[in-house]
Amino acid sequence: MRRHLGKVMAGGAIAVAGTALMVAVTLPGTAGADENADGRPGQSQGDSAGQSRQGDPSEQGQADDGEAGTGQDDGQRQGPADADAPPPAEIQAAPTEGEKGIGSDPLTDDELKQAERLASAGDLRRAARDVEGDRGPELLYTNLQEPDPNAPAGQANRMAEVVLYDYEQEATVTKTVDLSSGKVLETVTTRGAQPPPSQGELAEAARLLIAHPLGQDLKKDFRHATGKNLTEPGQAELSGMIFRKDTTLKVPAVLKDCGKNRCLSVVFKVKNGPWIDTRANIVDLSARTVGRLG
């Protein structure tokens, strides 16, 4: 945590770049397997044997006398290979996805839309706020709920569990939706629980960090790695985790409500390149502030 913001990790070799550390993956070089000790290219035993055969008149004569036999040998060698050769590969189109799944099949696109629409409707839609402050809750994720084991085979209704976050109330809202009847069967609201972040939250945290003075080292490292200016989250691959204030950690005042508020530690990865370690920077999405640990 006490290491500098600009530490970039992607493998074994570490190089100092400005205020940051960057890691590049270096594949070990392969020694010349066909080189002699004095560095001259070597020759395989197969090549040497081939030359000795060509230089042996007796072997050449046998080859001339046995042309018919040689042809027969070639046919014997090629015949089984041709017979055992697999047919050419065929690419088959993916099966058409139905509107509804069966049993424990993954939720279809239509089922996901139905569950998320039903879970976000009503008073929650009007009163809640998402990560950008717009009306409606922030969708975190939607899962298929396990079928009722006591229900007769093939008769259990498919249920979806939709997890949302309301930034207005600082609360996690979990709704169970019956996809067959189109009804919300249960709503559970909890405060202080912090489910994993959504991609929308990661993008917003990255946007706030890029615009903040604490993001200067991040932008320097990104430019060093790519030659381009970092201006928006879509230029990098993002990952991150929930951050809670710990009594054993010294945190700045702007992060004192993390745990009650929704705070993220977001990490950037250059596309097809190294990671940029920004874990020391914490973004409070609820207060829309950025702080640095230690």
Query: Order of strands, edge to edge, in the sheet holding 171-178?
Result: 138-145, 159-166, 171-178, 183-190
- The residues, ordered by sequence, that sit 6+ positions from 245 with a Cβ below 8 Å of its Cβ are 251, 255, 256, 257, 258, 259
Q: What gap in Å lies between CA 78 and CA 82, rounded to an integer? A: 6
pLDDT value of position 124 = 92
pLDDT tens track for 169-197:
999 999 999 998 999 999 999 998 899 99
Q: Quickly tell me which residue has 């009847």 as its tokens.
A: 181
SS (H, E, C) 127-180: HCECCCCCECCEEEEEEEECCCCCCCCCCCCCEEEEEEEECCCCEEEEEEEECC
Exposed / middle / buried, residue 175 (Cβ in 10 Å: 0-12, 13-18, 19+): buried
Cα separation, 201 vs 133, whole angstroms? 12
At 245 the pLDDT is 85
| Higher-scoring residue by pLDDT: 181, 294 | 181
| Rounded alpha-carbon distances, angstroms, from residue 247 to 210, 211, 251, 266 | 28, 29, 9, 21
More confident: 113 or 25: 113
DSSP string, 236-285: EEEEEEE----TTS---GGGTTBTTB-EEEEEEEETTS-EEB-TTEEEET
pLDDT digits (tens, 9 = 90+) for 46-100: 443 334 444 444 444 444 444 444 444 444 455 555 568 888 888 877 666 567 7
The answer to whether the CB of 106 falls within 8 A of the CB of 144 is yes
Closest CA to 82 of 90, 74, 71, 70: 74
- Tallying the residues shown for the chain, one arrives at 294
Give the confidence band of 238 by pLDDT, cuts at 50, 70, 90.
Answer: very high
**β-bridge partners, 16:** 21
User: How many Å apart are CA 225 and CA 243, to the nearest integer?
Assistant: 27
* Separation of alpha carbons 173 and 80, rounded Å: 65
140-155 confidence digits (pLDDT tens): 999 998 876 666 655 5
Quick one: which H or E segment has residue 60? helix 57-65
Q: Is 257 exposed, middle or buried (0-12, 13-18, 19+ CB in 10 A)?
A: middle
By the 8 A CB rule, do 123 and 184 touch? no
Give the pLDDT of residue 212.
97
Instruction: Output the six-digit token pair for 259.
Output: 């745990």
